[in-house]
Structures are given as structure tokens and as C-alpha cells.
Structure 1
Amino acid sequence: MRASLWLSAVGRQWALPLVAVWLALTGLLALAGASASDALVVNSRVARQLDFTISDGSAFHSELLNITVSYEAPQGDADLAHYRLTLPVNDGMISSVSPYEEDQFQPLESLRLLSRSESSSSSPVQVYEYSFATPLPPQASRTLAFYVIKIGGARPTPATIEQGDPQFLATTTPLHFVSPYKTTEQIMTAKMTGDGHSVSLIPSNTPTDHRRKSIASSTHFSLGPFVDVPATDDIFATGAGTAKLPLVSFRIREPAGQAIVEDLTRTATVSHLTGTLHVDNSYHVLNTGAALRGGFSRAKMSSPDRSHGSNPDGMAGIFRFPIPSMAKNIYFVDQLGNVSSSIVDAETPQLNSALPRILTLKTRYPLFGGWRAEWSHGYTVPLDSLGTFSDTEAASPKDPNFLFGSTSQDDPSLHMLRLPLLESHSSAAILRFELNIVLPEGARDVHIKLPFNVDFLSIGDPTFSFLDSLSPVSFLPRVLSFFGLPTPAWVRTLEGNSILGQGRPTIVIRHQLVASLSHENDIEVTYRLNGPEALLIKPVSLSMVIFLMLAALLVWSRSSVSIEGDADFHKAPWMAAEKAKAE
């Protein structure tokens, strides 16, 4: 008996260490298997194409990676199902990554961002795992492409400039392709606009065979080819016999500054009663370029002589936005008064066409580095002017990005609305984006179709606006809760079944690091709304309110609270009887 107790105690004592050893061995075997598999994957050819021309004064750039992947495993081994992609973030925060395989766009679900614990890198990188459309067999090759949009990462150099001085932005990226696989050959190209650009290598004593550089022109730079680049995913890894990974720095002339949208709140309100779609966009813009040194001079900016400061370097103050061709009641609101003028392009011949119109806003004071501007602008679009889902692009002259109507002839209560997720100038870089879609009161069975995964999506708290109805059934629980009384079950049942007093269902979408170039997609919202019942809610509610107000006024005019006067109807009956006896 004592022996068995002693054995059980020893078993409990050594159970946890044995489990820990088993897990450690399992992890080492898995890492060994992954390392062996990585050694058999080779990047035969890599072409990196950096494009700084798409930003147009905004804080983002693109990078196109064309990779030829070879799987050098012997015949008979298992097929390769995944490819690991390592992207540095020292040259900008990653906004989006679009995968392609054999020149065919692949679903975004095929690219998965690995967590820090899943990747072996300790450097500022993001590691993705791409799943092949069909596994790659041994002794085969396949071409992959990844289109990457990065926000920020460029710093002004120098940090401060005087009005009229040229502005430059500097961005740094690894010279070699960062990958857990060996790269046989790699080239890098960079495209810019204007003049005055330059490129330099860090460190400057990079070996000659690794810094083959050729400059085609002042706007196109080509570096490479680099051969037999070893596998690495640590950009700044240092150790015995290992040098820091060489970097390349681009110094870019950017006259328009580096405007970035800190916050953009977009609200779309659908009204079946008025038959309109109202869209409001609230912007908070910051210029992250070089700060102004010495103060701003209106005379210098207005001077025709460029040597006196009319050069617009470092300034951002003109913003253009596409709006639907059928938009009406276009407005902008700026409480600070910095947005002083607005222009909408000519209404003809684009008024009845699918081409958008352009709203141009210009600030009174241009935005230098560190300066901000806040405003909101919007418009109203009649629902009957939008295209329907039966229209074709060739047959309908209406805006194809905005569609509205019933999707089923057998069920007229089913409606669908398609609208752009984002409407901004083509080079907008947005840190925080929020879209609110306010549906009509009484809408139910709401479904949302998004073009990509977002950080946050929900049908949030309902929106209550002017003339929204409030039924007695929904008002009673509020009165009971105010007095601390419980709400009966039958009241909750009636409240759930009633479409009155529920407010307007509101869809809330939030996403960070949005680039208009890659996120200008359409969103589709499907919901049910009963026609006669929904349309009569507000007129009946308004009529009832007016009737009750008139009835209350009528009662008030016919009543009196005075206790003085000669008329007997102001007195009680017994007082009239006493007066008659006295006479």
C-alpha cells in the first residue's frame, strides 16, 4: 500500500517535467522539418518594383513583387502547399497585400498573416503564409506576384524648411529581398516623378558585387542583379561573422507635401419616404511633411517670382473628390473657416452619364508640415436616379457604382443597396476609417457583403433622428426602468414584434490603414422593408402628433383655473345655491 502511494506521488512529481520535455522535442522536430522544407524552396528570380509616383502628395507607395518559386525536393516527396512571404515594415505600414498566381488574382483568404509566435523573425517585419491554388509538386516552378501598398515610412529631410524651399522625403528599405528562402537572382527598380531624386546604400562600404547599381534616368532607378542572396528574415540581425543586412535609401523630391487622413467618417443614410440617399464625409487631414521655419507669408505665396517663395513645395491645400453624376444639394462645412472655396465641375455633359463629377476644395491657408484641416462635405442622390440591378453598363447611363432596387420580383420587400466603400481622391492614405450605413426605420433581415475583411463590422445601436417614431410599446419599458420597475414579458414580446420605436438599423464598419488605391471597392447591403407599412409610419405619426397638439390646445382654450369672476360657471354649484337663498 505504501509502495503504491509512493509511486503515485513520484508520478505526479515527474508528470509535468515529462510533458514539458515532450512538447519541447515536438517543437524542435517541427522546426527541423520546417527548416528542411525551407531549404528545398528557392526563389529562382525576384523582381521588386517600387512606385513612388502613385502617391501624388500622400503618404503611401506601392511595391510589386514578382517571384518565381522553385521546389527542389526529390521526386516522390510531398507537394508544397504554402509559401512564406516576409515584408519589412521599416519603410511603411502595410495597408494591403494582393496575391496573384500565374497572373491570376487569388482570393484574399489565401494569404494569412502569421502571428509573432508563428514566425521566427525578431525584426520589424510581417510574415504571411500564402496557400497555393494547387500544391506545387517537386521539381516544379510557379510564378507568384504580390502587390503591396504601404502607408507612411517616409520622413522629411530636412525636418524643417523655409517657405519656398524644396522638400525631400527619405525612405529606407532592404537592398536584398527578405525571405526565409534562398534567392538565386534579384533586381530592384524604383520609379519617381520630377527631378532632384537620389539613391544611396547603407552602409556605404557595401561590397561591390552586391551593390551593382545602374541609373536609367533621374526618375527611374535600377539596382542589381544580385545573385545567390542567402535566406534571412532578420533585417537587423547581427552576430558572429554576420553583417547587418544592407539597406537602400531613396531621397525623393515631393513638392506637394505628405498629406495623410487621420480620421475619415463616412455616413450614408437611406430614406424610402423621401426617396433619397444622403452621404456625408468628415475628414481630419494632417500634413506629415517638413515643418515650416520662419512663418508663413501670403505675399511670398502670391509672388509670381519663384525665388520669392511661390514654389509650392511642402504645401498641401487642394483636395479633389469624386461624387456621383446625379448628386444634388452638394455642400461642405468647415467650422474653422480654412476651406474657403469649392468648385464642382460643369454639370454638362456629365450630368446624365456614368462619369463622376469632381468636387474641389481649396484651403485659405495651405497646409505645411504639422498643420491640420478638418471639414465635412456631402451630397444627396435621388434613389430613382440610381441604376437598378437589371441595368447593364452598356444600356444604362447611370453611375454603375451606385445601385438600388428590389432584387426579386416575387418579393418586393427585399431591397439591395450598392455603394462605394470609400470615395476619396485617388491617392488618399487613411489611418482610421469608419463607415456608417443608416437604413430606414423598420428594416430587418440585414445582410452585408464586403469586398475584403475589415477590422470591425456590426449592426450597432439604432439611430434616432428627427421625426422617428416612438410607439407606446417601446416607450413603456423606458418609463418602467426609470422608476426601477421590471418590464413584463408580454411587453417585451410586443416590443420585439413591433417595427415602431425601434429606430433605424445602423451598420458600422471600421478599418485601419486604408489606401484609396486598393480599398475603393463596392459594398452591398440587403434588407427587407414592407412598403405600405414602412412608408406610412412617419406620416401617421406626424398626423397623430399634430392631432394631439391641437386637441390639447382645444382643451386648454376651453378650460379655466381662475377662482374669480361673475359668471356662475366659474363657481361650484353649492355656491350658486347659497347666493340664490340670500337674495
Structure 2
Amino acid sequence: MLLPQLLGVFVFLFARFAFGATLQTKAAGTWENVAFTRVVNLMRSYPIETVSLTIKNVGSYPESIYYFGLPDSVFDRISVFSARMPDKNAFIESSLYTQKVEQGGVPVSCGVLKLASPIEPNNTIDLEVVFAYNAGSSLTPYPEHISIDTIQMLHLNTSILPYSLYPTVDYRLEFLGSDEYTVLNARPDVSVKKQGSNKLQIGPIKNTKELTPSSLSLVYKHNLPLTRVVNLNRDIWLSHWANTIQFEEYYEVTNDAAKLKGGFSRAEFMNGEYTRKQGTHLLGFEMVLPNESSGHYFTDLVGMVSTFKVFSNRLYLRPRYPLFGGWFYNFTVGWTNELSQFLHSPGEEEHILRVPLLNGPNDIFYDNVKLSFYLPEGASIVSVESPVPIKYKLYKYEKSYLDLNAGRSKVVIGFKNLIDNARDESLFVKYKYSKTNLYMKPLSISLYIFCALMAYFLLKQINLSIEP
């Protein structure tokens, strides 16, 4: 339920802009959280939080801006942030605010929700906020080292009370995704009970003041890898002559799960048949490729890796060794598709390229992503559109095979803090490339070859003999 809501319209991180002059640097006390229910989904390697709100305008004037407080540890690592009105199933304008909002003399990082119409005094509205983030040092294995056959427990540090700029009348906290929970710093005045097979409920907690300091130390079972891509370099090469688009991706991957106690024994690993058992070790990757891809390859720093299979649009990769907690693996994967699958040409010279933002595995977090588009020589880039905020964008030229002039037009785009579901989104690159540019390269090559042959022919006519 969470991910479809999270990515329905995919207000995927919201360019970090202010909503104009209507925003204030201080959060006026015009709202009250009548009900605040926070649900933390722990099924994946990164938390996904859904906050259901009923807010009331307790001020004297209509209000349309609501500041949603976020701890700095979340704000700095957030990947997705969206808001909607659940009763109307309609998304509302939402963004991370570039400046900190002051509340009671305390600067607070926050998201900003702009309601479709102002809410009159004493009226209420229901909202739902969904966000995903890399928990970083707030989520660690517990203990840090375990044996190969030990079930992994994770330790989450979070807040037990609402991190809100407004007072809250009724607050509830729920955790989903594990069948075993332990609260290390339980409060005697707060109800903690397990519901069903995978839910832990805390609360209700009544009448909480704004920004009340609190902490919760939770240990839960999660016997799966915590896969994280430290760096991804994704290169995309276009050829109008061959009607092909080539993808090449270089991954630097690590597993943040618990480290092995006593080191790794391949004999123990094979004899225990751990390749067939669920655990914190990462055995392989399943990638979703575009349909009708071909020319697949899989390499690492040693050379070609043959342990990969392709089924329809799925590419299954098996590294040379399992990745246990704290281990790293670098590899490169590539494939080719027909360019016509991704290219739309509304005019003779105008072209629009649409490609998936990612093609990576499930349940994975990306620290840094660098996308590079290599357009044909002579192409001029008009614009680049992304549903995800771009950290940096560089335009340059790079020479490749048989590039005789300036080289290929290249655009490099950088992103941070992406999650696996970003592969459902598309990047658009608009560029101009005329028939003259298309034929210029073969004509230039032909001219160079003709000049070389003529020079050879003329040199052959010169008599360098010393005989009369």
C-alpha cells in the first residue's frame, strides 16, 4: 500500500524551492494537530514513513501553508517527499524548504505543504505525508558482529513523540515489517503493544507540545542484506546511424548489514548450504531492463563475469563472492536497445529522448548517481527535464571513435539520495540534430580517406631514385 501511494504521482523530491513571498521564516501558531498518526515501514533497507494528519486552523485568519517538521538527520538524507488529501485522493503541492523555519527561537528543518485553498478558522483538513530516507547512523546492526548462522537484529534510533512545529492533541506511532520488536527505553506512562504478526503500536499519547524532545530506541528483526550503492555511473550512448542506444553502468556497492564474527570460511558457507538460506549475505542482483535488450555483459575489476542470466527483461547477476556486512563489490554491466524505443522526433531536427532514471535492483539506496548522455557529434542540447532534483549539470564535448571535429555533445547530471523506485521515473533530454549533421560525419571521414589516398598516390609518383 505504501509504495503505490508514495509513487502514484511521484512528487519525488520536489525541487527545493520556496513558495514565494507567502512563506515566513517563523512558523506562526495557527495550526493544531488534532490527530497525528505516524507509521514507519521497516520492511526495506531504508525506512518509509507515512504520517496521517488531521489539522485545525486555530488562528484568526485563513491559512494555506503548513510546515511539516523533519529532524536534520532525516532532512539531509531524504529521497522522497509527497503529500496528498486522502479523502479526495489528490496530491497537493509539497517541497523541502531551503531555509530553516524558526519556532520558539529554534531553527527547524521542514517540508512545506501548500493547500489548494485556505482553511478558514476553526476548520479542519485531513492530510497524508509520505517520505523515504536513508537512516544512516540511526539504523545499525545490533550487535555489530554476528555469526554466519545468526539472525540479524537492527537498532533504530528515532523520536517517540511527534517532531512537529504545532501542538498535538492525539498522537500514535506504529512500526510495520518485522515479527519481533524490543523497545529498549520504554516509558512506563506510554502503552506499547504488538498487533498482528508484524505491527508494533505505541500510544496514544495526549497533548504534546510542539518540538518536545524525545527519543526511542527500537530493536527489531531484519534478517536481510542492507544494500547500498555508494556510487553509480550510468553512461548512455546514442547512435542515429545504427539506431541504437547503449547503456553502461558502473556500480560501487556495499552491504551495511552486520559484519561476520570470526571471518569468512568458504567451506563453512558451502557446507551449510547458505546459498539456499535467507540471511544478511547478498548473493546477487536482479535488474529490470528495457524490453528487447541485447548485447548484455557483466564485468568487474578482474575481468568478464559469466555468472549472469537474462530472462525477458530481467537480468540476474551473481558476483564472484557473496557480500557480507561491510564488504564492497565493484562491477560494470551493459546492454543495447534500439534507439527508436526511446526517441520521439516531433520535427526534422528536434528530438526528445526519454529513458528510465535507473535500471537497478530492488530494495536498494543510492548515495550518489551520475548520469552521462553522449549525443551524436553535431547535436545541440536544448533542455534536460527530471522528476528528481538535480544536484549538478555539466555540458561538455567528448571525442569518441572517428569523431573528427569537436566531438560528441555530452551532458552530465548528478543526483543524491535516490531509492530503487526511481526506476519508475523517466528523464527527458531534448536536442537538435539535423540531416546535415547526420551526413556530415561520413562525408568528413570519406574526405579524410580520399585525401590520404590522394597523398599516397602523389607520393608514389615522386621518383626518389638516384639512378639517371
Cα distance in 2, alignment partners of residues 451 and 89 from structure 1: 24
Q: Which residue identity does 2:36 align to in structure 1?
A: V
Post-superposition Cα deviations, 1:423-463, rounded to whole Å, max 9, x if no partner, equal 212322000011111222222251222213222234x1112
1:298 aligns to 2:266 (yes or no):
yes
- Asked whether 1:258 is paired with 2:265, we answer no
Partner AA of 2:280 in structure 1: G
Partner residue of 2:85?
A: 101
The structural deviation recorded for 1:340 is: 5.3
| Correspondence for 2:99 among 91, 95, 115 | 115
Q: TM-score, normalised by structure 1?
A: 0.71
Q: Give a deviation string over 1:531-562, Cα, whole Å, max 9, x none.
A: 2x122122112212222332333334344556
Whether the aligned pair in 1 keeps the contact of 2:227 and 2:363 (CA below 8 Å) is no
Paired residues, number: 440
| 1:406 matches 2:345 | yes
- On the 8 A contact 2:40/2:48 being kept in 1, the answer is yes
Corresponding residue to 1:269 among 237, 262, 277:
237
One-letter amino acid of the counterpart of residue 383, structure 1:
L
Letter in 2 for 1:112: L
Return 5+ residue gaps in structure 2 as ranges. 1-23
Q: Which residue of 1 aligns with 2:216?
A: 248
Change (3 A) 1:519 1:276: closer
Unaligned runs of 5+ residues in structure 1 are 1-29, 236-244, 348-356, 387-402, 471-500, 569-583
SS at match of 1:546: helix
Which residue, out of 216, 219, 225, partners 2:195? 216
Which of the two has greater helix per residue? 1
For 1:167, the equivalent position in structure 2 comes to 152
CA distance in 1 between counterparts of 2:139 and 2:327 reads 17
1:523 corresponds to 2:427: yes
Separation in 2 of the partners of 1:516 and 1:305?
29
Does the 8 A contact of 2:39 with 2:50 survive in 1? yes
SS at match of 2:456: helix
The residue type paired with residue 406 of structure 1 is S
Alignment-derived partner of residue 361 in structure 1 = 317
Task: Name the CA distance, whole Å, in 1 between partners of 2:175 and 2:326.
Answer: 28
1:361-393 C-alpha deviation (Å, 9 max, x unpaired): 111211112211111111111124x1xxxxxxx
Partner of 1:422: 358
The corresponding residue for 2:13 is: none
The secondary structure found in structure 2 opposite 1:364 is coil
Structure 1 residue 90: deviation in Å? 4.5
Using the alignment, how far apart are the partners of 1:305 and 1:277 within structure 2? 41
Which residue of structure 1 lines up, in the alignment, with residue 377 of structure 2? 441
Query: Percent identity, aligned pairs only?
Result: 25
Say which of 331, 335, 346 aligns to 1:379.
335
Higher CA-based Rg: 1
Match in the other structure for 1:227: 206
Whole-angstrom distance in 2 between the partners of 1:431 and 1:519: 15
Which residue in 1 is equivalent to 2:390? 454
Looking at structure 1, the residues matched to 418 and 90 of structure 2 have their Cα atoms a distance apart, in angstroms, of 24
Task: Report what 1:322 is aligned to.
Answer: 288
Distance in structure 2 (CA, Å) of the matches to 1:292 and 1:256: 14
Partner of 2:6: none
Deviation, 1:286, is 1.0
Q: 1:295 to 1:160 in 2, by over 3 A?
A: same
Query: Is residue 410 of structure 2 the alignment partner of residue 509 of structure 1?
Result: no
Matches of 1:270 and 1:414, distance apart in 2: 15
In the alignment, the residues of structure 2 paired with residue 148 and residue 366 of structure 1 have an alpha-carbon distance, to the nearest angstrom, of: 31
Kept after mapping to 1: 8 A contact 2:236/2:247: yes
Select between 113-122 and 211-220 the one with higher mean Cα deviation: 113-122
Write the mapping of 1:82-231 to structure 2, written as runs, cut at 5 A.
82-90=65-73, 93-102=77-86, 103-107=89-93, 110-116=94-100, 118=102, 126-151=109-134, 152=136, 153-193=138-178, 195=179, 197-202=180-185, 204=186, 206-208=187-189, 211-231=190-210
Root mean square deviation of aligned Cα? 2.5
User: By how many angstroms is 1:278 displaced?
Assistant: 0.9
Report SS of the residue matched to 1:50. Answer: strand
What is the letter of the counterpart of residue 421 of structure 2? L
Q: Which amino acid aligns with 1:65?
A: V
